[in-house]
Amino acid sequence: MITTYDQAKRLKELGYDRPTFKYLTEIFDYHFHNDKRIAKNHNEYEGVYSTPCISEALQWIREKYNVECGAYPHVIGNEIKYLWLFFASKERNLTSSFVAVIPTTAGCYAHCSFDTEGTYNTYPEAESALLDGLLKYLEEKDKK
């Protein structure tokens, strides 16, 4: 699953610079998906947004911001649902109504969708919601 237009735009604002085969362009409020035979950093151009797979975007965030994160199965009754979770160091001092902030003994905060948004029916839905949660967290962190 590739990132949405909104996710790709927000990743570009955070400095995403990895090569991708897919990219989005915005022309008169219309978004067009494009494919290339050679991967490159499409974020170099105005109005063009690299669209990595969600797992690639999450890996970039893990490496750049030192955040541990993932989407996980969770059994509720007879159903398997999915939730997301990420851990960030206490130095980031996040206060947000978007994510639950749970102090841990490991010197970090845990942010979990189960406490704020509930669960998701599929893994890809949970993974995409995780990316949205991380982007919101990183944008709030940058404002401070």
Residue 62 in contact with residue 72, Cβ under 8 Å?
A: no
pLDDT attached to residue 83 = 86
Q: Where are the domains of the chain?
A: 5-52, 65-143
Residues in the chain: 144
Residue 119 has pLDDT above 50, yes or no: yes
pLDDT attached to residue 113 = 66
117-121, 127-131, 137-141 — which one is most confidently predicted on average? Answer: 127-131
Residue 85 in contact with residue 70, Cβ under 8 Å?
A: yes
pLDDT band at 68 (very low <50, low <70, confident <90, very high): confident
pLDDT attached to residue 95 = 41
In this prediction, residues 39-66 reach a mean pLDDT of 83
Alpha helices, H only, the chain = 5-14, 54-65, 113-116, 123-143
Amino acid in the structure at residue 24: L
pTM: 0.77
Residue 88 has pLDDT above 80, yes or no: no
pLDDT attached to residue 25 = 77
pLDDT attached to residue 36 = 61
Closest CA to 3 of 36, 30, 37, 31: 31
